[in-house]
Amino acid sequence: MVIEWLRFKVPPEKWEQFILRDEEVWTAGLKNFPGFLGKEIWVDAVENEVVMLIRWETREKWKSVSQSTIEELDAQMGDLQIAIAESREYQVPHFLP
């Protein structure tokens, strides 16, 4: 399994709207792709950040999502389209139970 980790700087007054719209747009859209395993969303009230952890079966399946699909989904965020402040990739060791 591979983890896509994303951090967004989101003003506290937009947390709820941003997370709900993300669920409607991104999570719903990614569910159509093979290899998408799920997503967690965390809010850091001290740093005013929303962190998303997206689980993928393999890196290849994650990276098979086309750039045009990414742009289309991003555009659907509308006025809540917020740039990614930081992104990371983690590999979950296959030998863990």
pLDDT, tens digit, 9 for 90 and up, residues 55-90? 999 999 999 999 999 999 999 999 999 999 999 999
Domain annotation covers residue 96? no
Q: Which structural domain range is residue 9 located in?
A: 2-91
Q: What does the buried/exposed string (b/e) look like for 8-33 if buried means 16 or more CB atoms within 10 Å of the residue's CB?
A: bebeeebbeebbebbeebbbebbeee
Identify the CATH number of the domain in which residue 31 sits.
Answer: 3.30.70.100
Nearest Cα to Cα of residue 3 among 49, 57, 51: 57
pLDDT of residue 61: 96
The model carries a pTM of 0.90
d(CA 97, CA 9): 34
pLDDT tier for residue 94 given thresholds of 50, 70 and 90: confident
What is the tally of structural domains in the chain?
1
* β-pair partners for 3: 55, 90
Average pLDDT, the chain: 95
